[in-house]
Structure 1
């Protein structure tokens, strides 16, 4: 008969639940935090062992929550459909919390302010995205909208759609943000062409184009 190892079989000082109740979440290691989510192990491993195995994949530690796919997670011994789903949901929640807390009420004081926010949001994207960020007359953030997904080129960037989004939000300023999944945040010739096109058509509807940030 198969026996599933649980954290209760660990010494009390190593049990995640007991450590949480005694010292709080900040006292738990990354593996122990994940073990509480995983709950139970397998016939050969405790939940903490499964968590350690997950963290050791690709030497990415907690970044595996973002960078490993649902199917990749399920290939790890002790992680099935439900646990893989829970781990991906934790990653998504952490991203949304960071985005909400970081940008709420922030003004467009500089390109660095906008870039800092969107770098966090786009750092795990595998596809290129062009996003229009909209601001009011006092440069307060109003919202954003994804304009294109995939290859961003002057032939597919729709200025009309960008300005419809801006007008619907009653935006006075817009900033275009474009990620480079390759990690090379240097404007390409195509990036510069797109920026020139957008700059040439702004102003007429009372909206200023404040630049394009490659991330």
Structure 2
């Protein structure tokens, strides 16, 4: 069967777009990289053959092979070998990088992490830090950029990144361009709204840190959460 004869919902690229990369088999992911098959075999069949070839040692063993040797596998060639090797190396580097994550123990850690990013901003930026159960920062998500005096923030935009990366809890962060980190009435209101939303979602808000100049304000450390 030609790959084009498969139903659209079974094509690797379409399945990735619909369901995410994690839903695909090793052969389907490899088929997306290879793009084309060879005479007598469609790309998915070629990919399955390669996966079977490395089943005992694992696909990571490809990185240990000389590129020219991998390219000699039927259906590969130098161009496809370069694509696959680049993807595997990028995945390896991404995995290594992901192991080194900032850990938040107190509001001071938040200030040190984000002050370089926000200190020169002339408008308010609202960010969310989704954290793991070990208080590791899973990502820094920009939620909203406002005017000099206010920021428009919706719970949907705040918690979507946290849900996406499986966060155990979140810390809210925004800056005051005035350099005064004291919370406004609107800051208090927004904190209450987002705390209630987090409680409903099972992703608690454990702090809201406001950065202003060299100072910061922590709702948690002030006993306001």
The TM-score, its normalising length taken from structure 1, stands at 0.49
The TM-score, its normalising length taken from structure 2, stands at 0.47
